Structure 1
Amino acid sequence: MKKWIAIIICLVLIILHAEAQRRIPGQRGIQASVGVSDGYGLLKNKKISYQVGISLSHYTLNKNKWLYGVEYWEKQYCYGNRSIPVSQLTAEYGYYYTFWSNWGKDIFLSGGISGLAGYEVLNWGKKELPDGATLTDKNGLIGGTALTFEIETYVYDRIILLIHIRERILFGSSINKFHHLTGLGIKYIL
């Protein structure tokens, strides 16, 4: 009888504490993300506005995470019957605080703040346009911050689906200082 009680207690403790080895302190993951930005340009006026990124994450003792990575952002601006691309390549280093997770530890809601630094290029460095007009804005270094809301949901023990909403605030840019990004990503736990 004592044997069965011990087995039942062990099973109950395992079930109550089962987190499938998720967000262990020191655990690392690699993630890739894609998204649209600034008014969802793919849906309006055939302007292209997108971002792609790759990042590494590192979980802390309290199940929050540090994130560092690179991101490429591009937006096409209409000029007559042409489009003028503006591209930004940024490096990111940030901290994400987990403020909610479900009982099964397979859905996490986080908010993060990141520092950004990078370079912006207008029209791939070409100042003169085919009609003779000249761009007065300059290529240059940019820097700022990003505020992020992120949802992580485990698809499998090592595969996570990400949904994020970001607001990037960049100084030194020749165009808008604020960029809203919405995207999807996938993370693999190493």
Structure 2
Amino acid sequence: MKRILVIIIAIVGLSIPTMAQRLLPHQKGIEFYGGVPLQKHNTFGDGNFNAGLNFTRYIRNYHYYHFGLNYLQQNYHYNELKVPVRDYTGEGGFMFHLISSPGKSFLVYGGPCISLGYEEVNDGNRWLPDGAYLEARNRFVYGAGAQLSMEGFITDNVVVLAKAKGTFLFGTDLDLFRPSILIGISIIM
């Protein structure tokens, strides 16, 4: 009788799906992403792009915080010329777990972020080839924003993500609000 009971428990135990150990407190990860800044004109062209690297650390209730580096390049049009603008920023933030699938294989996060960095306009040249003078100049920028992230586990340690991010950058002579769409991959260690 004990033998039959052990066999039944083994069969039931093997038939129940087991959940991987995901999103545990103190798990760390590294996130690589790229995307495009949303502009009024020609969003997906002109060499406009955004790239970054984040380090993440999960805490209780599937929340996590992140910090990392971000690079943003945009081209502004002036007559027939393109004026390049590059932002080099350090970023940090906190992501709140909003909703997820029952097995925690698909999650939605949202949260605030802060930015601090340097903005370079037209490679530091204030004069354009046609003789026009740029009022915008190189300077330190800072700001805050929010982001919404949809994340899906491919394996227990690999996550694909899609983010919508909007940052208000102060100290700039250009656009105050900088929205962007990002896609990336996160590797959890």
How high is the TM-score relative to the length of structure 2?
0.91
Q: 2:113: which partner in 1?
A: 114
Q: Shift of residue 129 of structure 1?
A: 1.1
Equivalent-residue separation in structure 2 for 1:42 and 1:138 (angstroms): 23
Equivalent-residue separation in structure 1 for 2:160 and 2:19 (angstroms): 17
Taking every aligned residue pair, what percent have the same amino acid on both sides? 29
Q: 2:6: which partner in 1?
A: 3
Q: 2:91: which partner in 1?
A: 92
1:81 equivalent in alignment to 2:80: yes
Equivalent-residue separation in structure 2 for 1:101 and 1:161 (angstroms): 14
Equivalent-residue separation in structure 2 for 1:55 and 1:24 (angstroms): 18
**Alignment of structure 1 residues 1-190 onto 2, 5 Å:** 1-8=4-11, 10-11=13-14, 15=17, 18-39=18-39, 41-43=42-44, 46-190=45-189
Q: Shift of residue 113 of structure 1?
A: 0.7
Q: Is the 8 A contact 1:32 1:187 kept in 2?
A: yes
Alignment size in residue pairs = 185
Equivalent-residue separation in structure 2 for 1:177 and 1:8 (angstroms): 61
Equivalent-residue separation in structure 1 for 2:87 and 2:155 (angstroms): 33
For residues 90-146 of structure 1, the C-alpha deviation after alignment (integer angstroms, 9 at most, x for no partner) is 111100001111012110100011111111111010111111111122211111112
Equivalent-residue separation in structure 2 for 1:184 and 1:20 (angstroms): 24
Specify the code of the residue in structure 2 equivalent to 1:138. Answer: R
Equivalent-residue separation in structure 2 for 1:177 and 1:147 (angstroms): 14
